[in-house]
A and B are shown apart, each in its own frame.
Chain A
Amino acid sequence: MARLIMILRRFGQALPTLVGIIVVTFLLTRALPGDPAAYFAGAAADAESIEEVRVMLGLDRSLPEQFWIYLGDLAQGDLGMSISTGQPVLTEILTRLPASLELTLTGLLIAVVIALPLGILAATRPGSWVDHLCRLIVTAGVSLPIFFTGLFLVYIFYYLAGWAPSPLGRLDIFFLPPPHVTGFYTIDALLAGDVETFQAALAQLALPALTLAIFALAPLARMTRASMLQVLSSDFVRTARANGLPPGQVLSTYAFPNALLPILTTLGMVFSFLLGANVLVEKVFAWPGIGSFAIEALIVSDYAAVQGFVLAMALLFVGLNLAIDIAYTVIDPRVSLDA
């Protein structure tokens, strides 16, 4: 119960941030160079039809008036129409955000599963071949541009070996999307009991998720290694060892849980990086995610779409930070939400 109240309080604290974001994105989009009315009136439009489009978009009104209308729509949950894709912004976000999240979370999961053991092994055996391997992977992950990794994987696994399915987005052309529940195709397919579609969705997911994982591996592995090294040299680990506890128990019960905190912080940061880095992966794998939507919208000054995207991301990060803060309190009783 106490925790629930704290969570609610944290949401309350996030409100000013959200208000700030709404105001700033509204002003920033208006400050973008370019005239959306001229752009969307089409190639052959004359001054008259550009003016018609301007009126249709409501851009002929004063800024405060536009902002007031925007607030009113927002209060009703209406994010407006994206003129570049011709869809309501809310629909776009609701279909594209799960696609991005599914990809990002899978990538992150793969990264965690590889990076944590690697970092721990490297820390327990400094200077050994595992440590060198860790260093190699970290260097490669940091220095390879993400679109290069993506195209490279496509070239190897799809073009040459033919193991991966065609990089055509979330599902091969002969599958229909599973009934919408969470928006995650893999989970929805399982909920519908459709194993074939699940496998197809997973197969499409494999290469792009791996691309993201390679990118995310580096900071995670490095942080795990550093954090473990520090904890392993601390007094309580020495005491545990001196008391004759088996090395496995020392590692899993005493060292690792205490090293988790900085790893978790890094995880949160890597997650936000990944959502941003998605754009390039989305382009290579024709993934209908939120990143490419936002970039396209930005290029053509599609105000409603940009505002909606930034707002959705802001909400996501408020939620994410909260989740991480709560996770801290679970891992380490010394941390409290009040702090």
Chain B
Amino acid sequence: MDRRDLLKAMAVTGGLLPMLKYLPASAAGREGTLLVVTGFGPNSMDIQRSGSNRPSYQIAVNLYDRLLTYGRSERPDGSISYDYATLAPELAESWEVAADGMSATFNLRRDATFWDGTPVTAADVKWSFDRAVSVGGFPTVQMRAGSLENPEQFVAVDDHTFRIDFIRPSKLTLPDLAVPVPIIINSTIARANATDDDPWATEYLHRNPAGSGAFMLERWDPGQQVVYRRNDNWASGTVPAVERVIIREVPSASTRRALLERGDADVSLDLPPRDTSELIAAGGLQVTGVPIENCVHALGINVAIPPFDDVRVRQAVAYAIPYEEIFRSAAYQRGVPMYGATSPTPSSTAWPQPFPYATDHDRARALLAEAGLADGFDVPLAFNMGLAQWTEPTALLIQEGLGRVGIRATLDRVPGANWRTRAMVDKSLPLHLKNFGGWLNYPDYYFYWVYQSDRLFNSMNYANAEVDSLVDTTLHMEVDDPDYAPNIRRMIQIAMEEVPLVPLWQPFLDVAMQTDVEGYEYWFHRQLDARPLRKATD
């Protein structure tokens, strides 16, 4: 090619300028299809693989069955929530705990089949449970929380009877069977794709789910979308009303909002609190906000780093925080306030519950003076940039509040990838914003993870012998045990007095939907359970 040819070629390309043509926004063929837009998509089809992210949990929820599920209850505002107090059948149509309380026997549904038509047997359940306690990482830790620790505990009695032998009686064991982790996998397919290096078929199941759940996988374009197709032969519950569910990743919150307001998306997840409150004000859409159980946004105070080893300094911090402003302009009131309780003792065994602290600068100054710090001190205030939506404005307001009583805080913006190492593993952050939510909704379960000495989420380095022993004795105790309520109250009482953690608010899980979408249920795992959803127009 020489220069004349090139110039000619350029002229030709110019003439072929594509005409930009817009298609109308209204799309046909929507019946029976639900379009969900979300900020982040799954990175695996297997919840038990190490590295599976939080959105991957929805695959476990919608594509797989567990032995048990939870009941449903209606909340005061008419929305539907799962009910942690009742367990309901999923793959197991009935179950009973042995008289000695040391085992539970499950009777599997005889009509339940995997997607490929093979019946679900106790051998599949055994293989799946063995896998969950053996693969290591998060699934194994979660199973251990329910005292499910080694494969010898799981016995396939016959094709449709499965038994779990307990290593200790615990109120957490049965509820732990209904969390997303202990999924029942088609062991025939999985075994056929296992290798010597990979006995649990993690590579295969990562891409190819093999379950018996209400939906099957139609396609997965990583980073773009997941499409579920209804399993018409689902035996473990009411067959879903929608035929297809498309879950599209739309990273920009503004774009998600535009899609919803234009009526192109049916459901939008991961709403920033600000958008939520504006959508509610604008009307025309359904917005459901349910307080996330056993979860609280809080300021952690590292008791191992002076001057925070002095309880008066911690209390001074708790009195210096501008709670009201934070709740208004960082949380946009999408939550339940966790401050300003009038009684200094816990009012119930509920967790989280408001702490007896409110903004009181005089009191904070007095406490600091008592601790010999009338001139204040300098301290970094760390927060996770990965959660900047609520952490950044909250940190700025706390910085200002602390400044009023002489504590000079500097902001330490920690990138998401470093957060775990610095906050949880090294436990080196003096003041830090944290959130933790426990799946199993018991106060002692929260205390086990956050307040007990040396636990991963105890980023406050808090150590209190009484709390440690209270948690140990209460963790596996049944809630109707006479010691349960007093123990819980005592734990909360100590947490209030010693304030290693200053609760700010209990966040809402907000979901916005078109008005014709019905059947939404709140679940503790915070993922969208698409099975009960339906569209009124269908």
B415: chain A residues within 8 A (beta carbon): 33-34, 299
- In the assembled complex, how far is the CB of residue A320 from the closest CB belonging to chain B, in whole angstroms? 17
Contact A42 to B252, CB < 8 A, known contacts A159-B262, A206-B22: no
CB atoms of A164 and B3 under 8 A apart? no
Which one, A173, A285, A300, A301, contacts B248 given CB within 8 A? A173
A333: chain B residues within 8 A (beta carbon): 3
Count residues of chain B with CB under 8 A from any CB of chain A: 65
A286: chain B residues within 8 A (beta carbon): 224, 248-252, 255
A36: CB under 8 A from chain B?
yes
- In the assembled complex, how far is the CB of residue B320 from the closest CB belonging to chain A, in whole angstroms? 30
A84: chain B residues within 8 A (beta carbon): 43, 51, 53
> Which among A60-68, A197-205, A226-234, A237-245 touches the partner chain?
A197-205
CB atoms of A53 and B21 under 8 A apart? no
Contact A159 to B3, CB < 8 A, known contacts A34-B415, A199-B23, A286-B251: no
A206: chain B residues within 8 A (beta carbon): 20, 22
CA distance A44 to B445 in the complex (A): 13
A283: chain B residues within 8 A (beta carbon): 251-252
Which one, B18, B50, B206, B421, contacts A34 given CB within 8 A? B421
User: Which residues of A34-52 are within 8 A (CB) of B?
Assistant: 34-36, 38-46, 48-50, 52
User: Which residues of B217-256 are within 8 A (CB) of A?
Assistant: 221-225, 246, 248-252, 254-255
CB atoms of B21 and A203 under 8 A apart? yes
Which one, A45, A154, A173, A299, contacts B417 given CB within 8 A? A299
User: Which residues of B261-303 are within 8 A (CB) of A?
Assistant: 261-262, 264-265
CB atoms of B138 and A42 under 8 A apart? yes
Closest to A40 in B: B51
B7: chain A residues within 8 A (beta carbon): 257
- In the assembled complex, how far is the CB of residue B172 from the closest CB belonging to chain A, in whole angstroms? 14
A11: CB under 8 A from chain B?
no
CB atoms of A158 and B25 under 8 A apart? yes
Contact A174 to B421, CB < 8 A, known contacts A159-B258, A330-B3: no
B138: chain A residues within 8 A (beta carbon): 41-45, 49
Contact A42 to B137, CB < 8 A, known contacts A154-B255, A200-B23, A288-B224: yes
Contact A299 to B262, CB < 8 A, known contacts A42-B50, A96-B223, A173-B27: no
User: Which residues of B299-334 are within 8 A (CB) of A?
Assistant: none
A332: chain B residues within 8 A (beta carbon): 3
A48: chain B residues within 8 A (beta carbon): 136
Interface size range of chain A in the complex? 35 or more
User: Which residues of B391-426 are within 8 A (CB) of A?
Assistant: 415-418, 420-421, 424-425
Closest to A301 in B: B417
CA distance A154 to B250 in the complex (A): 14
A172: CB under 8 A from chain B?
yes
- In the assembled complex, how far is the CB of residue B285 from the closest CB belonging to chain A, in whole angstroms? 15
Contact A34 to B417, CB < 8 A, known contacts A96-B223, A157-B22, A168-B248: yes
CB atoms of A165 and B25 under 8 A apart? yes
B12: CB under 8 A from chain A?
no
CA distance A199 to B142 in the complex (A): 49
B536: CB under 8 A from chain A?
no
A327: chain B residues within 8 A (beta carbon): 6
CB atoms of B254 and A284 under 8 A apart? yes
B458: CB under 8 A from chain A?
no
CA distance A56 to B197 in the complex (A): 11
B137: chain A residues within 8 A (beta carbon): 41-42, 45, 49, 52-53
A292: CB under 8 A from chain B?
yes
A337: CB under 8 A from chain B?
no
B80: CB under 8 A from chain A?
no
Contact with B along A243-276 (1 / 0, CB 8 A): 0000000000000010000000000000000000
CA distance A285 to B250 in the complex (A): 7
B481: CB under 8 A from chain A?
no
Contact A174 to B29, CB < 8 A, known contacts A162-B262, A166-B264, A283-B252: yes
Contact A158 to B18, CB < 8 A, known contacts A44-B142, A174-B29, A299-B417: no
- In the assembled complex, how far is the CB of residue B493 from the closest CB belonging to chain A, in whole angstroms? 27
CB atoms of B20 and A202 under 8 A apart? yes
- In the assembled complex, how far is the CB of residue A305 from the closest CB belonging to chain B, in whole angstroms? 11
- In the assembled complex, how far is the CB of residue B382 from the closest CB belonging to chain A, in whole angstroms? 14
CA distance A43 to B52 in the complex (A): 11
A83: CB under 8 A from chain B?
yes
CB atoms of A299 and B416 under 8 A apart? yes
B372: CB under 8 A from chain A?
no
A293: CB under 8 A from chain B?
yes
A169: CB under 8 A from chain B?
yes
A158: chain B residues within 8 A (beta carbon): 25, 258, 262
A174: chain B residues within 8 A (beta carbon): 27-29
27 A-B residue pairs with Cβ-Cβ distance under 8 Å, sorted by A, are: A34-B418, A35-B417, A35-B421, A40-B50, A42-B50, A44-B449, A45-B456, A49-B50, A52-B50, A83-B51, A84-B53, A113-B17, A151-B252, A159-B258, A164-B22, A164-B25, A167-B255, A202-B21, A203-B22, A206-B22, A257-B7, A282-B251, A283-B252, A288-B223, A327-B6, A330-B6, A332-B3
Identify the A interface with B (CB < 8 A): 32-36, 38-46, 48-50, 52-53, 56, 83-87, 92, 96, 113, 151, 154-155, 157-159, 162-169, 172-174, 199-200, 202-203, 206, 257, 282-286, 288, 292-293, 299-301, 327, 330-333
Per CB-CB distance, the 10 closest pairs between chain A and chain B, nearest first, are A42-B138, A34-B417, A86-B43, A286-B250, A40-B51, A166-B264, A34-B418, A163-B22, A49-B137, A283-B251
Known: A41-B138, A168-B250, A202-B18. 6 other contacts (CB 8 A): A85-B222, A86-B52, A151-B254, A174-B28, A286-B255, A332-B3
